[in-house]
C-alpha cells in the first residue's frame, strides 16, 4: 500500500514536470513580490537600523525566505478537493481501498517536491543575486529548517483540505477559499511579520496554527530564534499537525453522511 502512496507522489511530480513551463513565469512573479516588499521595507525603515527586533538585513532575508518557502508549501488542494466534490468524481475515489485524504496529501507532496526543486531553489538563487540576502552558515540550521519546512507544508495542506471539504456543506465555497488564501498569507506572516502586528493580534496569533507555517520557521532561519529554541518551534508545529487531524477527521465523517453525488 505504501508503494501505491509513493506512486501518487511520483505521478504528480512527473505530471507537474510536464507542465513546468507554467511555473517559469511563477519564479518571475515571486522575484517581483520579494522586490516589492524589499523596497517597501527599505522605505519603512528609513534611517532606523532596527524595528520590533528586526534589523534591516534580517528583514531582507526574512522576506526572501518567507516568499520562497511559500513557493514550496503553497498548493491548490482546496480547489482540487472542492472541484472533485462539485463534479461528483469524488465517488470514484470512494470505490478504491485507500484513504482519499491521504492520497490527496501525497499528490500535494508530489507537487511540493516539484515546487521545491524547480521553483523554490532557482527562485532563491535569483533572490540572493538581486537582494542582499544573508543565509545562515550552520548546517544544523539548514537541516532543522528543512524539517520545519516539511511541517509548514503539512499544516498548510491540512488547512487547505479543511477548506476544500467545506464544498460538501455549501454549494459554492469559492469565497471561503479566497478568504482562506488571504488569511493564511497575512496571519502566517508572509506579508507582515507577526512581530509587527498590534499587541492583541500578535497575542491571538500565538493560539492559531498560521504562525507555524511561515513566521516561526523563517524567524528561526534568519537567526532571530536561536538554535536552542528550535525544538520549541518544531514541537509547536508537531502539536498543530496533530491537532488539525481532529477537525479534518470530523469533517470527513460528517461529509460522508451527507454526501450527495452530483450529476446522477
Partner 1 sequence: MSELAIDVRDLRKQFKVQNNRAGLGGALRDLFKREYREVAAVKDITFQIPHGEICGYIGENGAGKSTTIKMLTGILVPTSGVLRVNGYVPYKEREKFVKEIGVVFGQRSQLWWDIGVIESFQLLRKVYRVPETDFRRRLDELVERLQLSELLSRPVRKLSLGQRMRCELVASLLHNPSILFLDEPTIGLDIIVKTEIREFLKEMNREHGTTILLTTHDLQDIEALCSRVIMLDDGRIIYDGGLEELKTRWSKGREIKFQFGAAVGLDRLRSMTDGLGVTWSMDNEMASSMWLPHSVNVSDALARVVGSSVDIRDIKINETNTDEIVREIYQSGSAEAKSAAAAALEPDSAAKAQEQSQAQEERKETARP
Site for partner 1, rule CB under 8 A: 1, 3-4, 7-8, 11, 15, 18, 88-89, 91-92, 94-99, 171, 256-261, 263-264
C-beta closer to partner 1: residue 40 or 92: 92
Min dist CB 72 to partner 1, Å, is: 22
Answer left, alpha or beta for residue 134, where phi above 0 means left and psi between -120 and 50 means alpha: beta
C-beta closer to partner 1: residue 48 or 258: 258
SS3 113: helix
C-beta closer to partner 1: residue 198 or 263: 263
Min dist CB 124 to partner 1, Å, is: 29
Contact in structure between 48 and 187 (CB atoms under 8 Å): no
Min dist CB 264 to partner 1, Å, is: 5
Of the candidates 68, 51, 208, 239, which has an alpha carbon nearest to the alpha carbon of residue 145? 68
Phi, psi for residue 256 in degrees, rounded to 5: -60, -35
C-beta closer to partner 1: residue 29 or 254: 254
**DSSP letters along 11-45, please?**
HHHHHHHHTTHHHHHHHHHHHHHHHHHHHHHHHHH
Min dist CB 84 to partner 1, Å, is: 11
Q: Which three cell numbers stand for residue 43?
A: 522605505
Min dist CB 91 to partner 1, Å, is: 5
C-beta closer to partner 1: residue 134 or 262: 262
Amino acid at each position: 500500500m505504501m508503494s501505491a502512496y509513493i506512486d501518487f507522489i511520483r505521478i504528480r511530480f512527473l505530471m507537474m514536470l510536464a507542465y513546468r513551463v507554467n511555473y517559469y513565469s511563477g519564479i518571475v512573479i515571486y522575484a517581483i513580490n520579494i522586490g516589492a516588499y524589499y523596497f517597501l521595507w527599505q522605505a519603512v525603515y528609513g534611517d532606523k537600523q532596527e524595528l520590533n527586533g528586526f534589523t534591516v538585513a534580517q528583514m531582507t532575508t526574512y522576506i526572501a525566505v518567507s516568499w520562497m518557502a511559500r513557493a514550496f508549501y503553497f498548493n491548490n488542494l482546496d480547489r482540487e478537493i472542492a472541484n472533485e466534490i462539485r463534479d461528483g468524481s469524488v465517488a470514484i475515489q470512494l470505490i478504491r481501498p485507500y484513504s482519499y485524504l491521504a492520497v490527496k496529501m501525497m499528490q500535494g507532496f508530489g507537487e511540493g517536491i516539484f515546487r521545491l526543486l524547480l521553483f523554490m531553489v532557482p527562485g532563491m538563487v535569483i533572490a540572493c543575486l538581486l537582494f542582499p540576502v544573508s543565509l545562515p552558515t550552520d548546517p544544523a540550521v539548514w537541516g532543522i529548517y528543512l524539517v520545519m519546512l516539511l511541517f509548514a507544508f503539512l499544516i498548510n495542506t491540512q488547512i487547505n483540505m479543511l477548506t476544500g471539504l467545506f464544498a460538501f456543506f455549501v454549494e459554492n465555497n469559492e469565497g471561503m477559499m479566497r478568504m482562506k488564501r488571504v488569511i493564511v498569507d497575512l496571519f502566517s506572516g508572509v506579508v507582515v511579520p507577526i512581530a509587527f502586528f498590534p499587541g492583541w493580534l500578535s497575542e491571538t496569533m500565538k493560539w492559531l496554527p498560521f504562525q507555524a507555517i511561515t513566521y516561526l520557521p523563517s524567524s528561526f532561519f534568519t537567526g532571530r530564534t536561536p538554535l536552542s529554541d528550535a525544538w520549541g518551534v518544531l514541537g509547536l508545529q508537531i502539536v498543530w499537525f496533530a491537532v488539525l487531524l481532529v477537525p479534518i477527521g470530523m469533517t470527513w465523517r460528517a461529509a460522508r453522511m451527507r454526501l450527495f453525488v452530483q450529476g446522477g
